[in-house]
Structure formats: structure tokens, C-alpha cells
Amino acid sequence: MEIHEIESNGKKFFYNIVKNTTEPCPECGIPACGKEDIIWYEEKNQRIAIIFDGGYFDLALEEFFDKNIKTVKYDSLPIFMKQWNEARGWTDCIDYNGYTLEIDDFLNSMKLLKSCQMGKWITIEDIHSMEELANNAKKIEAKLKIVRG
């Protein structure tokens, strides 16, 4: 398991990465051009995490809304998706202690993304990994969190 270290305001944050889907930018060489999303939960004082390109997650959600805005009832959408669309909540969480997500709500969001084949931005494998992480957090009754770095 890879350890990902981030320093912010003189404080260090460590994440035990079970999956990292970021790739170096062809222009700057920095993975995800520095815009990473980290989904994680804490177990035995360790942050178990998946790190991925924040821009791709934004693009997948944007595509979901573009494709489905006329057929989906907005009020029935998971809070996770509404917060992204309304640019509130987790979408502006830059605190490395994370923004707490409601696990079932997050899983419902992933189910909707899977149904719309967002593989251009986030693969089914990536979504399965996020679902597994969320379910592991749920099993041990840990909080699922997200941070946008």
C-alpha cells in the first residue's frame, strides 16, 4: 500500500492509498495537475484512501447532468450529486481532514454514474473501487470522507 503525504499549513496528512488513478500531466508532469480528489475512511488511526483526478470526477458528473437533465427528477438525486451541481458541500472541501459523506447516498451516486457509462472519465472499475471503499467504511461504521486537493 502506497503512503501519500500532503503538507498543508505546516501540518502533514498521510493517506494509505489502496488505488491511485491519477496520471502525470503531459505538460507539467504533476499527477492530475495537482487537482486530486481523495476519498477515505479511518481505520486503526490510518486513513485508507483512493486518490483520483478531481477534474475527471467533475467531468463525469457534468456529463451525467448533460445527458439526464430532462429525464431525471432533480429532487430524487442523491445529495452528493446535488452538492456537486450546486457547488456546495464537499465540492469546495480543501480541508485535508475531509468532508463527511453519507455512505448510502454516495453509493447511490456511484450507482447512477455506473448506469450512465461514464467510462470516458471514470471507469466502471474505478467506481467499483469507490463502492468497495465506501462499503468497507460502512462495515466498520467509519465515516467516509472526501477532500479536494
| Distances 57 to 10, 84, 90, 97, 148 between C-alpha atoms, Å | 28, 10, 13, 20, 11
- Among 31-45, 69-83, 101-115, the minimum mean pLDDT is found in 31-45
pTM of the model: 0.89
pLDDT in tens, 42-100: 999 999 999 988 777 788 888 888 888 788 899 999 999 999 999 999 888 888 899 99
3-state secondary structure of 134: helix
Share of the chain above pLDDT 70, in %: 92
Q: What angle do CA 140, 99, 9 make, to 5 degrees?
A: 115
* Distance in angstroms (rounded) separating the CA atoms of residues 107 and 76: 14
